[in-house]
């Protein structure tokens, strides 16, 4: 009888801990996804500013979010965190 109670308790503990772990992993994935969306939005904003200012080739635009450089065929956006995005220059 005591063995069944101990086994049931251990199985219940494993079930609850696996559910908790799954929930934590889900939230961690959501945070990473939102962070990536935020960085892409920042890069797109800098790109739009660079296009509006009509950067010449080899010219750079510095903002508080990062830097945009016109490389002839595309804009290279470098965020403060080091992520780099490339967008086409032709429009």
* Phi-psi sector, 54: left (phi>0), alpha (psi -120 to 50), beta: left
Q: In the structure encoding, which two tokens stand for residue 84, read together?
A: 């780099």
**DSSP element (H, E) containing 27:** helix 2-52
pTM beyond 0.85: no
Mean of the pLDDT values across residues 76-82?
95
Look at residue 11 in the predicted model and tell me its pLDDT. 94
Residue with tokens 């199985």: 11
Query: How far is residue 74's CA from residue 39's CA, in Å, rounded to a whole number?
Result: 19
Look at residue 91 in the predicted model and tell me its pLDDT. 58
Q: In the structure encoding, which two tokens stand for residue 71, read together?
A: 């490389």
List pLDDT tens digits, range 4-60. 888 999 999 999 999 999 999 999 999 999 999 999 999 999 999 999 998 888 899
The confidence band for 61, taking pLDDT boundaries of 50, 70 and 90, is very high
């Amino acid at each position: 009888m005591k063995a069944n109670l101990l086994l049931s308790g251990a199985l219940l503990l494993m079930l609850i801990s696996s559910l908790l772990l799954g929930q934590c992993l889900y939230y961690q994935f959501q945070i990473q996804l939102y962070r990536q969306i935020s960085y892409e939005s920042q890069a797109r904003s800098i790109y739009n500013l660079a296009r509006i200012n009509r950067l010449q080739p080899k010219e750079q635009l510095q903002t508080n979010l990062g830097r945009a450089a016109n490389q002839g065929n595309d804009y290279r956006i470098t965020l403060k965190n080091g992520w780099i995005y490339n967008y086409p220059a032709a429009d």
